[in-house]
Structures are given as structure tokens and as C-alpha cells.
Amino acid sequence: MKKIRIGIIGGTGGIGRWFDRFFQKEGFEVQVSGRSSGPDFQTLARQCPVVVVSVPIKVTCQLIEQVGPFMPKESLLMDLTSLKEEPVKAMLNASRSEIIGLHPLFGPKIKSMAGHNIVLCPARTQKWLPWIKNIFLKNRARLIETTPRHHDELMALVQGLNHLNTITLGLTLGRSGFDLEELKEVATPNLKTKLDILKDIFGPNSRLYAEIITQNPYLPKVVKEYGESLSEMKKWIDRKDSETLQKRIEGTNLFSQ
Ligand SMILES: NC(=O)c1ccc[n+]([C@@H]2O[C@H](COP(=O)([O-])OP(=O)(O)OC[C@H]3O[C@@H](n4cnc5c(N)ncnc54)[C@H](OP(=O)(O)O)[C@@H]3O)[C@@H](O)[C@H]2O)c1
């Protein structure tokens, strides 16, 4: 099994490049392609028994539609997309091959996957599922198997709400009129951590975060609830009513459910 050739479409980008290095370290032969480098996508699909799609969320399904028909029945098509419902559906429709949706819950800055979570959505698979699980388990990743729908529902909170909250912080800091350098001078450890995250979001990875937030079908409900929480808070802040806010915080029993 060791000499299996793995093709990564989008292997010139952030997480694709990370998996290129990872699979090479595992002893596999890896071929990568981007829009203007490497073999064209169809050639890659024909030459590699395992193909991983790792392109921006908004172009993932249309790319799968182009590549899927070239994957033989006994091959494996996977994706690394941060959302799973639409890409997995697209892979099942476009290809006869085995299909496994993956979502590594980490970014390309980490050194190893040890201790980090990877979601697997096995959609049509027999021989390849134990193969990929063994590779990840050997590298001490934490694996979670679930359906694409449940994944996206969870990600509406894990990533959608979380990033929405951080972006709202950044937009509000931007609106405040204060110089960020002056804020940094008086930052708490907590704000320093958040500013580091903001640097990534308001820097090179803005597209990824914007797509994670806008493309998850389960996020509008969460945003509605977020707006309700904000309105509640505003009411208590306007009234300087710390007692009611404190009771509301305690009454949620967030950590004793
Ligand atoms: N970055 C993360 O932390 C992370 C973590 C987990 C999952 N993901 C998922 O992984 C996927 C890739 O994310 P990323 O952050 O690695 O993105 P990225 O750094 O922007 O890389 C995107 C890759 O896709 C290629 N690409 C861009 N536009 C394309 C198009 N229209 N058609 C075909 N290929 C195109 C790029 O190739 P060229 O620029 O060379 O043409 C590049 O190789 C996304 O679905 C994301 O949700 C990302």
C-alpha cells in the first residue's frame, strides 16, 4: 500500500501544502496541482488512485464535478473542505469511486496532527476507510466520524459563531477610531491572544473565514440567536443593570448541562 500515489488538487495552498508534506513524510508519492501549476485536474484524477480536493469552499463543488467522472470505481476521492454537506453530495454524484469527506480541525501552522481533531464523513467506502484512519491514528490525531449534515450543524457553532464573534470584534475595533498600537500597549493576555487571531483573519486568510461564515446553511439561525443575545446585553448595559446580567449569565448553567 505504501507506494500509493496521492493527488492533491489545491496542494499549492495552505492546508493542501500541509497535507502534501504530511503524506510525503508518510512515504507516499504526492502530486499537487494549483490553477497554474502541476498536472491538470483530470490528468491528476486519472494518475492517482487517491485524490484530495483542497480548494476554496465556493469553488469546491464545481471542481468536484469536473474531476469526479475521471476517478475509477476502485479509487478514493476525498476533500478537506471546512463544510461537508454540499461537497460530499457533489462527490457522490460526480464519481463512482469511494468517497470520504474530511475536515482537519487545524490550520497549516501546526507542526503535527497529534492531539488535533479530524472529522471523517465516510460516504461510500469499503477498503479505503481503514487505510486513511490508520494513517491518522498512527500520527495520534483524534478522529470523529459523523454525517456531513451533523458536521455542518456543529461547525455553525465551532467555526461559524466563533469566527463571527471574532470578526465582529475586529470590525468594532476598526470602527472605534482608536489606534491598534495604542490598544496593544495596554492589552491583557486575553486581548493579545485575540489580536493574534485577528491578524490571520484580517490578513491573508480573509477569504477562508468569509466563506466559512457565509456558506454554512445552519449559520443564519445561529446569527439570529447571536443578535438576540446582543440585544439583551445592550438593554442591560443601557440600564447599567449588572444584577440582571449576572443572573442571566448564571441562569444559563452553561457548564453544568
Ligand atoms: N487553511 C485552513 O486552516 C483550513 C483548515 C481546514 C480545512 N480547510 C479547507 O481547505 C480548503 C483550502 O483552504 P486553504 O486555506 O488551503 O486555501 P488556499 O490557501 O487559498 O489554497 C487554495 C488552493 O486552491 C487552489 N485554487 C484557488 N482557486 C481555485 C479555483 N478557482 N480552482 C481551482 N483551484 C483553485 C489554489 O491554487 P493556486 O493558487 O496555486 O492556483 C490553492 O492551491 C478549503 O475548502 C478550506 O475550507 C482549510
CB of 108 closer than 6 A to ligand 1? yes
Say what the pLDDT of residue 2 is: 52
Residue nearest to atom 40 of ligand 1 (CA): 34
Q: Lowest mean pLDDT of 32-41, 77-86, 127-136, name the range.
A: 32-41
CB of 213 closer than 6 A to ligand 1? no
Question: What is the signed CA dihedral for 55, 60, 66, 68, rounded to 10 degrees?
Answer: 100
What is the mean predicted confidence (pLDDT) over 106-121?
98
Cell numbers of 231, please?
440585544
Residues with Cβ within 8 Å of 122's Cβ and at least 6 positions away in sequence, in order, are: 99, 100, 101, 129, 145
Provide the 3-class DSSP secondary structure of residue 121.
strand
Question: What is the signed CA dihedral for 148, 151, 153, 157, rounded to 10 degrees?
Answer: -160
DSSP secondary structure letters along 14-51: HHHHHHHHHHHHTT-EEEEE-SSSSS-HHHHHHH-SEE
What CA–CA distances, in Å, run from 141 to 7, 89, 120, 189?
A: 22, 25, 12, 29
> Can you say how many angstroms the Cα of residue 95 is from the centroid of all Cα atoms in its chain?
23
pLDDT digits (tens, 9 = 90+) for 189-244: 999 999 999 999 999 899 999 999 999 999 999 999 999 999 999 999 999 999 99
Residue type, 36: S
Say what the pLDDT of residue 228 is: 97
Rg (CA), the chain: 21
Q: Calculate how far, in angstroms, residue 160's C-alpha sits from the geometric centre of ligand 1.
A: 18
Say what the pLDDT of residue 140 is: 98
Q: Calculate how far, in angstroms, residue 99's C-alpha sits from the geometric centre of ligand 1.
A: 19
